[in-house]
């Protein structure tokens, strides 16, 4: 499954595409005092596969900073759980 998000840098907006590498695992649990909660046992894993600038030109993935990669993976993960639950 493909994932897409946009990131902003000082020089413009970029579009990032990723692929789901490994599904996440979780289960619904019920507690008397809190009700139903979803417990994640394993977060999904993603691969960032393409990066494009605002003009649609390919940008090397090596230009992504570690912080940008973490933010992108967090966005993909949130999108994954939003569509699963």
Residue-level pLDDT at 84:
86
Domain at 35, CATH number: 3.30.300
- The mean pLDDT of the chain is 95
| H/E stretch holding 36 | strand 35-42
The CA distance from 23 to 32, in Å, is: 29
Distances (CA, A) of 29 to 6, 36, 59: 34, 6, 43
Nearest to 83, CA basis, from 2, 18, 8: 2
pLDDT digits (tens, 9 = 90+) for 23-38: 999 999 998 887 899 9
Instruction: State the pTM of this model.
Output: 0.90
Total number of domains in the chain: 1
């Amino acid at each position: 499954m493909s994932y897409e998000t946009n990131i902003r840098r000082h020089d413009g907006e970029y579009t990032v595409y990723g692929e789901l590498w490994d599904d996440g695992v979780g289960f619904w649990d019920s507690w008397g005092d809190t009700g139903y909660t979803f417990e994640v046992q394993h977060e999904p894993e993603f691969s960032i596969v393409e990066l494009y600038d605002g003009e649609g030109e390919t940008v090397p993935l090596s230009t992504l900073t570690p912080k940008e990669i973490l933010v992108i993976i967090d966005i993909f993960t949130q999108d994954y759980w939003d569509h699963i639950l």
